[in-house]
Chains A and B, each alone.
Chain A
Amino acid sequence: MQLRTNLSAVWLCLLVCWTGPGTVSADESAEDKAVYEYKTWDCRIKGNKFTLTVKNRLRINNLRGDGYRRLSLFEDKYNKLTGVSARVLDADGKEIYRRKKEDMSRVCGYGNGALYRDACTYYTVLESAQYPYTIEYEYTRESSSLFFWSDADFQHFIPIHGASYRLTVPPGFDFHHQIRDLELEPEISRSGSEITYVWSASDIPALEEIDHLPPGHNEGARIEFVADRFSLNDYALERCDWGGIGRWYNQLAQGRYLSGNSLASGTGSLEAVDILYLDVQQRTRYVAVNIGIGGWQPHSADWTLEKGYGDCKDMSTLLVSKLRRQGIEAHPCLVLTRGRGVTDVDFPSIAFNHMVTMAVVGGDTLWLDCTNDNLSSGDVPWSIEDIDGLVVTEQGGQIKRISASTAEDNQCVLNTHLHIAGDRRLRLDVDLRVTGNQAVYLRGVLESMDNEETRKFVDRIFDGASKKYRIEAYEIRNLDELEEPVVIEMQATGIKPLRKIGATLYCGPFVLDEMDGFERTDLDDREFPLYLYYPELMQSNITITWDSSLAADSIVLPEDDSLSYPFGELRVDSRRSGDTVYVEFVKAYHAYELAVEQFADFEIFRERNRDIIRRYAKFMTLTDQ
């Protein structure tokens, strides 16, 4: 079944301005498609403002490099684009044409999954008919707040011949920086009222395209910057540590919680959390509108309540308010979700993209995400499992680890009865029960489907079952009962008879067990961990019966087997009892990712897995049907 793969496909949505094309075949060098001849940044800081001038030049060598010919720049209330110019040069360096900001297409209001975003995007495509050609462009961005001062990427999916970042600051300007995946020391010079830092690197190799990469890996060499102090509108960060960032958020959220008296902290209960969480989920829907500071400052809880919609910050603010009123300790928690990166606890910054609520009842800590209607109050959404979040308390911010799930939390139990009819066709009765992350995914996908779409989806869940089986009936239960597993029942008949070669009838019991994408990844020469996504337990309980007319003389069962490693385990047991064969197959993963040192073991593990699911129950028959 493809549940896990589908879930990973849902979250895996990279938003990279310069997207590399697809998989490069084995013998090709990335140099062949395109190369940055230089990338430069010149950042000048003055007070709370900064000006960043970017100059890039890249050569597109062939059709494969065409993914790099798009130029897309944003502008909003706080960040103005000036001095935009671009030109395209032929192989001899002769200018073919040039473009300015006014030549570019302009689209405003769209983007980032929001209903409306108070920003405009300028874009154009720079290209020529003849390869190679060179693209050269520069632009200046004037930002009115150091809040927007961020990273410089020194590495891409194509090589970079030279990159440099020049930073000019007034004396006494405090900032933090972190250099990732590169050895770099700045050249520092002082003159008059300025201090200049220059970081330079050359011959930076291309990043590899790696499948199933855990967050935080292969993100490329870069310099991350954050000012020690900044202000956005009237909200000032006085010190860039986790406490300070929390206090800054408190300023933004001040006066936004529900007014009225709150019960004393500690008087609430888990049941109250359930009720209030469900209440916020049901009374609000997700709508994001980012205007000005609205991308970071929540609407008031009263507003969210009145409108019945809001974004993650709005919903959290409302839930925190309601919980506190019931005497439950509750705090907003800023997170960077899985798939968008990893929060470096040693490098405080404002790199967050989501907000949830932390509630404490008795000794229990609950993590509550209001933006997903398919979670109960006990569920932690996969996007924030086992990551660090910044909990904002009255004193400021504190990093806390959000709980991880276990394989037992994410179960997929498949009970399958196979009956071999006299015509050698299989009849299937399937009962699939899913809990945890997979149940959340199924609920989210199925809730809006009509009958036709649901039917197609059921077919896809069972790996294109309709090519092998005629699905006669199916039923899906417990979509609204969040505390119960999602159940999918299906009855089907095999379209083709089972394979019979000579006197042997082959019945593969693992009709619905397939390997997931990450289990088929090529690990040769891989230097990065393998993403397993989340711990999971998959269990198939298969019973096989057969028509007496088949007159099976003897039955060879699939061989028992088992294998266990810290990251996971496999087990298959078969037995026969009278006219029934029982096969139990269990596979579990106990980790979110696999370290490189574990690859050798994993190769054995998955090879055995592949072997197991290809095993057959063999019926030596006397009767040739």
Chain B
Amino acid sequence: MQVRGLPDDPSTGAVSSDTVGIVTMSYSCVLRMVVVMALVLVLSAGSVAAQKFGKISDEEKLLGAPVDYPEANSMIVFDRSEIEISMDNIKINYHTRIKILTPEGIEEVGDQSVSYHEEYDKFKGFKAHTITPEGKKVKVEKSAIFEKTADEYREKTFSFPSLEVGSFIEYRYSVISKRFRYLRPWYFQSDIYTLKSQVAVTIPNGFTYNVQYQNVPPEFRKAELEEKIDVGAAFAGAKIRTFTWTRENLPPITDEPYMSARNDYRSALRFQLQIFENRYNLIKYQKTWPEQGERCQVWLDEYCNKDKEIKRLADEITAGLSNERDKSRAIHAFVADNFRTRNEYHNWYFMHDNIGTLLEEKHGTDEGKNVLLCELHNAAGIPAFPVLISRRSHGQFYSDFAYLPQFDYVIAFVQLGNEYEFLDVSSKFAPYGVLPPDCLTSGGLLVDEENSQLVRIRQKPMYSGRTDRTRVHVAADGTAACTTSCNFRGYYASLYGKRHESNDPDEFATDYFLDKMDVQYILGQHQCELDTASEFVFTMDYSSDELVEQLDENLIVKTVRYAYCSNPFESENRFFPVDFQYPFTYRNVMEIVVEGDVQESVLPQDLNYSCQGATFERKTTVKDSMVVVDTKLIVEKTKFLPNQYQQLRRLFGKIALSSEDEVAFVKAPTE
């Protein structure tokens, strides 16, 4: 529940009339980026603002499941936010109305919750009720509203009474915030169908906000503009402007495989305060990236308080090494091997108040370890800088929106002469210079005081591959004894190394390998290591009496494969890209040796499937009485657009089917 970002600065964000003096001049207030200051047709049938709390229209009473999503159990009739910015604070009014369409919808939406921040927000004016199909209103009593807490976060949770099919649930509340700089993002889309979603931002003279659009088609970006005279303003002609954006008929966004952060796919708006200006003042709020970096530097400098000790440590680690890259590798290995990761946060990115405690306790957050990595490099005379990023699982990075809360992680940038590396020490099994796949974002903010700048993080053009090699020895009694070696390179190594560290070793073997096969097994010895070629290698032995079937005089041996045995793309349709994170090659080699005399073997046919951007092939050969089944899947690109989904789905369906193929051994008849 922790917000991953720098603490906001309410003391400088709030603009009160005391600090700015008398507002006399008339300055126009504009919203930059793609806001057009003209009245634009709003595509909705009627304004949501006209809908009063508790008043259901005849149209709404007749509403059923949407034509484009007939299985909806419930539906957001409207979801509206009014953001009123004033000199003292920001008041956000929320109003939501949901209709229950089926009995299952009661369970789906009957309990609701809303959250806010204890320090920065005031929660007010909460009202909620059920409106039955007959029109009776049943209030959610105050005694039925509960507050949960998780550190500084608060969650109001409540349950609607008297629910039945055809009921409406409706609630509204206000949040008074002092956080001027970044308004809460508005998400048009939810996890249930949304008939209409609307956000209205009312801005008095003097304020300028940036708007960032996410998955909002161009035709919906033009806000409806309403202006009125600000009668309370100190000078004549001052206006209050209200910008309203509306979207309609939005299907829910659900979790699918190979997607990044769910919020990346939701249609949304984000707002950042740029400037406040009047006759006497011009206050810039939107920082440039260098300015943001400077702020971060202050905070990082407070954290890094052990220069001497770090210098001593750096000298120890790099003793006898002259080459910068060797020194860097040694430092990387030292931090990765000696500091455990614990991802609980008490202080924004870091677990501790300062790096000294990290050094003492020998465990901390991955971010803290990466900052230590930078410090050690610098102490060893190698320039290194922390880089703030937004990991893929957190959300996309918007470089044109200098908004610090969009970051959720810190990696290290190391300058090695004319070369550089992005480093991360979250896993000791991850090869040097290979970021975890979740960190493969487009860029981040390199923090270097006033020289802070955005940096692009390019995927290294490296081979990311996995090769599984299994020798299956089939005994006379039909039991199969298997020895497997799985070699991971590149981003694969980083991914599986981290998985290994995050799981119990036995569960790593079963969850990521053996359970994929759907046969019973007895796990034997297994181990992991990072070899000298920076490959993460996992080996295991196991046996199974379900891999081989006796059919008269024939032995039927099932395919052994630990990945892509089922089609990950189960949904028939998909409306957002498939994101594999990195191009990769997966190779599976199965070698079968059968005890006893084999008269002939019936091999599965060779296969060759492809679609744009991916290929799969299988070759089966016999070599020295050993049958070798060699399959290879190559995914050449990271992203596949929605219009390529069907082809990809078909391909992976065929790949999954190929795991059902068998090798038949016809044994020589016994005398």
A23 and B507 alpha carbons, distance in the complex (Å): 7
Closest to B150 in A: A107
Q: Mark B504-541, 1 if CB is under 8 A from A, else 0.
A: 11110010000000101011111000000000000000
Q: At the interface, yes or no: A353 with Cβ under 8 Å from chain B? A: no
Question: In the bound complex, do residue B107 and residue A448 qualify as a contact, i.e. CB atoms below 8 Å apart?
Answer: yes
Given contacts A125-B344, A306-B161, contact A116 B148 (CB under 8 A): yes
Q: How many A-B residue pairs have CB under 8 A?
A: 154
Question: In the bound complex, do residue B510 and residue A130 qualify as a contact, i.e. CB atoms below 8 Å apart?
Answer: no
Contacts of B24 in A (CB 8 A): none
Q: Which A residues, 4 to 36, have Cβ-Cβ distances below 8 Å to chain B?
A: 21-27
Given contacts A96-B361, A309-B161, A495-B657, contact A129 B155 (CB under 8 A): no
- Interface stretch, picked from B397-405, B566-574, B611-619, is B566-574
Q: At the interface, yes or no: A64 with Cβ under 8 Å from chain B? A: yes
Q: Which residue of A109, A467, A522 is within 8 Å of B657 (Cβ)?
A: A467
Q: At the interface, yes or no: B549 with Cβ under 8 Å from chain A? A: yes
Question: In the bound complex, do residue A106 and residue B159 qualify as a contact, i.e. CB atoms below 8 Å apart?
Answer: no
A308 and B659 alpha carbons, distance in the complex (Å): 51
Q: At the interface, yes or no: A63 with Cβ under 8 Å from chain B? A: yes
Given contacts A109-B148, A467-B656, contact A21 B157 (CB under 8 A): no
Given contacts A448-B104, A452-B572, A467-B660, contact A130 B362 (CB under 8 A): yes
Question: In the bound complex, do residue B362 and residue A129 qualify as a contact, i.e. CB atoms below 8 Å apart?
Answer: yes
Q: At the interface, yes or no: B266 with Cβ under 8 Å from chain A? A: no
Q: Mark A416-460, 1 if CB is under 8 A from B, else 0.
A: 000000000000000000000000000000011011100110010
Contacts of A103 in B (CB 8 A): 346
Contacts of A129 in B (CB 8 A): 338-340, 362-363
Q: At the interface, yes or no: A501 with Cβ under 8 Å from chain B? A: yes
Q: At the interface, yes or no: A347 with Cβ under 8 Å from chain B? A: no
Closest to A308 in B: B162
Question: In the bound complex, do residue A506 and residue B110 qualify as a contact, i.e. CB atoms below 8 Å apart?
Answer: no
Q: At the interface, yes or no: A616 with Cβ under 8 Å from chain B? A: yes
Question: In the bound complex, do residue A96 and residue B666 qualify as a contact, i.e. CB atoms below 8 Å apart?
Answer: no
Question: In the bound complex, do residue B148 and residue A307 qualify as a contact, i.e. CB atoms below 8 Å apart?
Answer: no
Question: In the bound complex, do residue B362 and residue A21 qualify as a contact, i.e. CB atoms below 8 Å apart?
Answer: no
Contacts of B346 in A (CB 8 A): 103, 105
Question: In the bound complex, do residue B104 and residue A96 qualify as a contact, i.e. CB atoms below 8 Å apart?
Answer: no
Contacts of B144 in A (CB 8 A): 289, 307
Interface residues on A, range: 35 or more
Q: Which B residues, 614 to 648, have Cβ-Cβ distances below 8 Å to chain A?
A: none
Question: In the bound complex, do residue A22 and residue B157 qualify as a contact, i.e. CB atoms below 8 Å apart?
Answer: no
Question: In the bound complex, do residue A109 and residue B104 qualify as a contact, i.e. CB atoms below 8 Å apart?
Answer: no
Question: In the bound complex, do residue A307 and residue B162 qualify as a contact, i.e. CB atoms below 8 Å apart?
Answer: yes
A64 and B518 alpha carbons, distance in the complex (Å): 25
Q: Which A residues, 456 to 484, have Cβ-Cβ distances below 8 Å to chain B?
A: 456, 459, 464, 466-468
Question: In the bound complex, do residue B159 and residue A115 qualify as a contact, i.e. CB atoms below 8 Å apart?
Answer: yes
Question: In the bound complex, do residue A501 and residue B111 qualify as a contact, i.e. CB atoms below 8 Å apart?
Answer: no
Question: In the bound complex, do residue B157 and residue A616 qualify as a contact, i.e. CB atoms below 8 Å apart?
Answer: no
Contacts of A308 in B (CB 8 A): 161-163
- Which of B73, B161, B338, B360 is packed against the most chain A CB atoms within 10 Å? B161
Q: Mark B538-570, 1 if CB is under 8 A from A, else 0.
A: 000000000001011010100000000011001
- Which of B155, B522, B551, B664 is packed against the most chain A CB atoms within 10 Å? B551
Question: In the bound complex, do residue B660 and residue A105 qualify as a contact, i.e. CB atoms below 8 Å apart?
Answer: no
A116 and B148 alpha carbons, distance in the complex (Å): 7
Given contacts A285-B163, A495-B657, contact A96 B360 (CB under 8 A): yes
Q: At the interface, yes or no: A217 with Cβ under 8 Å from chain B? A: no
Q: At the interface, yes or no: B442 with Cβ under 8 Å from chain A? A: no
Q: At the interface, yes or no: A177 with Cβ under 8 Å from chain B? A: no
Given contacts A285-B107, A452-B572, A520-B520, contact A22 B161 (CB under 8 A): no
Question: In the bound complex, do residue B510 and residue A467 qualify as a contact, i.e. CB atoms below 8 Å apart?
Answer: no
Question: In the bound complex, do residue B106 and residue A285 qualify as a contact, i.e. CB atoms below 8 Å apart?
Answer: yes
Contacts of B234 in A (CB 8 A): none
Question: In the bound complex, do residue B159 and residue A309 qualify as a contact, i.e. CB atoms below 8 Å apart?
Answer: yes
Given contacts A23-B506, A287-B110, contact A109 B146 (CB under 8 A): yes
Q: Which residue of B73, B107, B507, B566 is within 8 Å of A22 (Cβ)?
A: B507
Question: In the bound complex, do residue B504 and residue A107 qualify as a contact, i.e. CB atoms below 8 Å apart?
Answer: no
Q: Mark B337-364, 1 if CB is under 8 A from A, else 0.
A: 0111010101000000000010011110
Closest to B351 in A: A125
Contacts of B520 in A (CB 8 A): 520
Given contacts A127-B363, A285-B106, contact A24 B657 (CB under 8 A): no
A302 CB to nearest chain B CB (Å)? 13
Contacts of B10 in A (CB 8 A): none
Question: In the bound complex, do residue B146 and residue A289 qualify as a contact, i.e. CB atoms below 8 Å apart?
Answer: yes
Contacts of A25 in B (CB 8 A): 506, 523-526
Contacts of B231 in A (CB 8 A): none
Q: Which residue of A23, A115, A307, A506 is within 8 Å of B523 (Cβ)?
A: A23
A2 CB to nearest chain B CB (Å)? 10
Question: In the bound complex, do residue B157 and residue A116 qualify as a contact, i.e. CB atoms below 8 Å apart?
Answer: yes
Q: At the interface, yes or no: B147 with Cβ under 8 Å from chain A? A: yes
Q: Mark B127-156, 1 if CB is under 8 A from A, else 0.
A: 000000000000000001011111100010
Q: Which residue of A96, A115, A120, A506 is within 8 Å of B551 (Cβ)?
A: A506
Q: Which residue of A66, A448, A456 is within 8 Å of B504 (Cβ)?
A: A66
Contacts of A504 in B (CB 8 A): 552
A506 and B556 alpha carbons, distance in the complex (Å): 12
Question: In the bound complex, do residue B504 and residue A105 qualify as a contact, i.e. CB atoms below 8 Å apart?
Answer: no
Q: At the interface, yes or no: B60 with Cβ under 8 Å from chain A? A: no
Contacts of B526 in A (CB 8 A): 25
B572 CB to nearest chain A CB (Å)? 7
A127 and B161 alpha carbons, distance in the complex (Å): 46
Q: At the interface, yes or no: A526 with Cβ under 8 Å from chain B? A: no
Q: At the interface, yes or no: A67 with Cβ under 8 Å from chain B? A: yes
B98 CB to nearest chain A CB (Å)? 16
A110 CB to nearest chain B CB (Å)? 6
Question: In the bound complex, do residue B110 and residue A22 qualify as a contact, i.e. CB atoms below 8 Å apart?
Answer: no
A455 and B572 alpha carbons, distance in the complex (Å): 10
Q: At the interface, yes or no: A400 with Cβ under 8 Å from chain B? A: no
A399 CB to nearest chain B CB (Å)? 34
Q: At the interface, yes or no: B309 with Cβ under 8 Å from chain A? A: no
Q: At the interface, yes or no: B103 with Cβ under 8 Å from chain A? A: yes
Q: Which residue of A105, A109, A522 is within 8 Å of B147 (Cβ)?
A: A109
Question: In the bound complex, do residue B146 and residue A22 qualify as a contact, i.e. CB atoms below 8 Å apart?
Answer: no
Closest to A468 in B: B660
A88 and B340 alpha carbons, distance in the complex (Å): 14
Q: Mark A101-122, 1 if CB is under 8 A from B, else 0.
A: 0010111111000011000100
Q: At the interface, yes or no: B602 with Cβ under 8 Å from chain A? A: yes
A26 and B344 alpha carbons, distance in the complex (Å): 34
Closest to B357 in A: A97
Q: At the interface, yes or no: B108 with Cβ under 8 Å from chain A? A: yes
A243 CB to nearest chain B CB (Å)? 35
A103 and B107 alpha carbons, distance in the complex (Å): 38
Closest to B71 in A: A450
A452 and B549 alpha carbons, distance in the complex (Å): 35
Given contacts A307-B161, A467-B566, A495-B657, contact A109 B149 (CB under 8 A): yes
A452 and B573 alpha carbons, distance in the complex (Å): 9
Contacts of A456 in B (CB 8 A): 570
Q: Which residue of A66, A96, A124, A451 is within 8 Å of B344 (Cβ)?
A: A124
Q: Which residue of B148, B162, B339, B656 is within 8 Å of A108 (Cβ)?
A: B148
Supply 17 A–B pairs (Cβ within 8 Å), ascending by A: A25-B524, A25-B526, A26-B523, A105-B150, A106-B150, A108-B148, A128-B340, A129-B362, A289-B144, A306-B162, A448-B108, A450-B71, A456-B570, A459-B570, A501-B554, A501-B602, A502-B666
**Besides the contacts A124-B344, A129-B339, A447-B103, what 12 more A-B pairs have beta carbons closer than 8 Å?**
A25-B524, A106-B151, A110-B148, A115-B111, A128-B363, A308-B163, A450-B72, A467-B656, A496-B661, A499-B556, A504-B552, A616-B551
Chain A residues in contact with chain B, CB under 8 A? Answer: 21-27, 63-64, 66-67, 88, 96-97, 103, 105-110, 115-116, 120, 124-125, 127-130, 285, 287, 289, 306-309, 373, 447-448, 450-452, 455-456, 459, 464, 466-468, 495-496, 499, 501-502, 504, 506, 520, 522, 614, 616
Ranked nearest first, the 8 interchain pairs of A and B with the lowest CB-CB distance are A109-B148, A21-B504, A116-B146, A129-B362, A450-B71, A22-B507, A129-B340, A448-B104
